[in-house]
Structures are given as C-alpha cells and as structure tokens.
Structure 1
Amino acid sequence: MDRDEILVIKVDDKGKLNIKPYSTTYPMIYRSATEVHWDNDKKTLYSPKPKDWSYLEWYLHIVGVVKAECSVILELTNKTEWINIPDELKAEITKAQQNL
C-alpha cells in the first residue's frame, strides 16, 4: 500500500472539510459513491458540510475511502498545515490518526 503526506487540513468558507495530499490526486474518487469528492483546482479531497456527521467522522471517512478505494494511506506529519481547525478538533484528528 502506498503512503502520502497530508499537506493541509482545512475547513473552507462553505464549511467543507478539505484534505490536501502531497503528491496523489483523486479526480475519479466520486465514483466510489461515498460523498468524498476531489477539487481539481485546489487539489483537495473534500466532504459535504457536516450535518449528521462531525468533522472528525468526515476526516476518518475520507482517509478510509482513500485507503479502501485507492490503496493509499494518507498520513499527518509535523508539517501538516491546519487552517480554520479548532485546537480540540486538531487534537481529535491527531489522536484518531495514531489509531489507524
């Protein structure tokens, strides 16, 4: 299984969670029918604005879909940039990533 670093995790101005990988792209991820999408301009994976799921659940879903559908493990690094992510959510994501 391949690995790729997560450059940026961001909640955009529309409330969508965006994950920007370092080197891989996922223009066909929508075919998985999992509500995970690819923004070709921003080069990010993104989710819908959370309604029933939390941002943590969407994060876990996105990295899980990429792993299952694309055989790539997305990994946080000490260089990952966090934009519009509250400290509590950052801590939850970091802790959850360690258990993947």
Structure 2
Amino acid sequence: MDIDQVAVVEIDQEGRLLVAPATHEFPFAYREAMEVSWDSATRTLGSPIPREWSYGRWFQIIQSVASAQGVTLVLGSSTRWVNVPADIQTDISEAAVHAA
C-alpha cells in the first residue's frame, strides 16, 4: 500500500471537511459509496456537511476511501490546517491515529 502525506486539511465555507493528499488523486472515490467525493479542480477528498458524525469520524472515512484505493493517508508536521479550530484539529489528529 502506498503512503501519502496529507498536504491540507480544510473546513470550507459550507462546513465540509476537505482533505488534499500531497501526491495521489482519487477520481473514483465515489465508487466506495461512503459519501466522499473527489474534486479534481481543488485536488481534495470531501465529506458532506457533518450531521451526526464528527469531523474526526469523517476524516477516518476519507482515510477508508483512500485505503480502499490502495493509499494510506497520514497527517504530518507539514500538513496545513485551513479554517480548522484547534479542538477540531485535535479531534482529527486523534481519529487519524486510531484509524491507522
């Protein structure tokens, strides 16, 4: 399985979680039927606006989509956080570790 660093984690203006892998693309993310989509213009995997699940749980689902396509997404010291409050950064970081 390939490993790819997460370049950017962002919460957009609509409230969706967007995850930009450093190198891989996932144009067939929809095939995993997990409500995660790939936006080729922004090179991001995106969740719907969270309803019942936390951003941390959605990050795990995004990791699952990538994993189903042969890639392990990992957070690192170079991951940029955009419009993500500190408490949600912690939630996502802890969720990422537990998913690994």
Shorter-chain TM-score category?
over 0.9
Over 2 Å off, 4+ runs: 95-99
Check if 1:86 corresponds to 2:85: yes
Check if 1:72 corresponds to 2:71: yes
State how far apart, in whole Å, the 2-side matches of 1:21 and 1:87 are: 21
Q: CA RMSD in A?
A: 1.0
The size of the alignment, in residue pairs, is 99
State how far apart, in whole Å, the 2-side matches of 1:85 and 1:11 are: 6
Identity %: 36
Q: Which runs of 5+ in 1 are unaligned?
A: none
Superposed counterparts of 1:47-62, under 5 Å: 47-62=47-62
Aligned partner of 1:46 in structure 2 is 46
Deviation at 1:2? 0.5
TM-score calculated relative to the size of structure 2: 0.93
Aligned partner of 2:30 in structure 1 is 30
Deviation at 1:14? 1.1
Aligned partner of 1:12 in structure 2 is 12
Q: Which runs of 5+ in 2 are unaligned?
A: none
State how far apart, in whole Å, the 2-side matches of 1:12 and 1:94 are: 18
